[in-house]
A = this chain, B = another copy of it.
Amino acid sequence: MAAVKRVAFLGLGIMGNPMAANIARGGFELTVWNRTRERADEFASAHERVTVADTPAEAASNADAVISMVPDTPEVEEVLFAAADGMSDGGLAVDMSTIAPTASRSIGERLAERGIRFLDAPVTGSRPKAEDGTLTIMVGGDEADFERVRPVFESMGRLVLHVGPSGHGEMIKLINNTLSAINAAALAEALATGQAAGADTDKLRQVVAAGSGGSAMLELKAQVMLDGDFEPLFKLEHMLKDVRHCIAEAEALGLELRVAKLVESIYAEAAANGLAERDFAAVADVIGGNSP
């Protein structure tokens, strides 16, 4: 099968908008659909070679591949099954949203019944990386399908990897996010201890960054936690959802994730304390006795 040249992009939200923009800049023929039509019109007027569709099916009918980037499982199902009405046999659907691996595999199976091929391709990296085209994209599904879409992925991402069969992109994304959640909670305990001891937190951070306790969370969230500035880059309720999905997937595989489960309860406590819509770094507010 030939490489994908015509792309339908469904969902121009915080992440979808800059991702679709990079596809347009990459020279692909792009048709976009968005629930709120005005955003699609604004997008089309800002980029070349972009068509706006009235429905997911209309967008799909002009495309070699359909990409969805929407909030959660119900929206993925809604837009992709609607798009399927406009797709021909052997068409290719790619979901780049973050949902549970089991939900993703199930969507792939139901699309297959309609003759449509499917990849799960979630991303890591927040909006700045979506804008720069430096996302990490982890793709589950058939390798030949992946190769057909690879140039499109490469217009949006720096590290683009086929990681395994259907659902494995989502699985690896959940594992990454659960590690982030735990490392952030550990960091919050570390900073709380340092502050309580009267330690110089700048020097604490320098030492840890150079040592075995270093982490991406230290680089990304230590200052945010010290400042108590929890303007959301990734909402705490979304992190909590991912940790819960990871625990459930592991349980289905016969594994008990004790550390993840404790950390899930701590994020749940933060959500119950009114921090659900804040950045997940706000978990620091319920760590180490800083609880209100």
Query: How far, in whole Å, are A283 and B215 apart by their CA atoms in the complex?
Result: 19
Query: How far, in whole Å, are A288 and B212 apart by their CA atoms in the complex?
Result: 23
Contacts of A164 in B (CB 8 A): 198-200, 203
Interface positions of A (Cβ within 8 A of B) = 101, 124-125, 136, 138, 158-159, 161-165, 168, 171-173, 175-180, 182-183, 185-187, 189-190, 192-194, 196-200, 203-204, 206-208, 210-217, 220, 246, 249-250, 253-260, 262-263, 266, 287-289
Contacts of A260 in B (CB 8 A): 186, 189
27 contacts between A and B (CB under 8 A): A101-B197, A124-B211, A136-B207, A161-B207, A163-B199, A164-B203, A165-B198, A168-B197, A175-B190, A175-B194, A175-B199, A176-B211, A178-B190, A178-B213, A179-B187, A179-B208, A183-B183, A186-B259, A189-B255, A189-B258, A196-B253, A212-B220, A214-B216, A215-B217, A255-B289, A259-B263, A262-B262
Residues A258 and B266 in contact in the complex (CB < 8 Å), given A164-B200, A208-B175: yes
Number of this chain's copies in the assembly equals: 2
Contact present for B250 and A288 (CB under 8 Å): yes
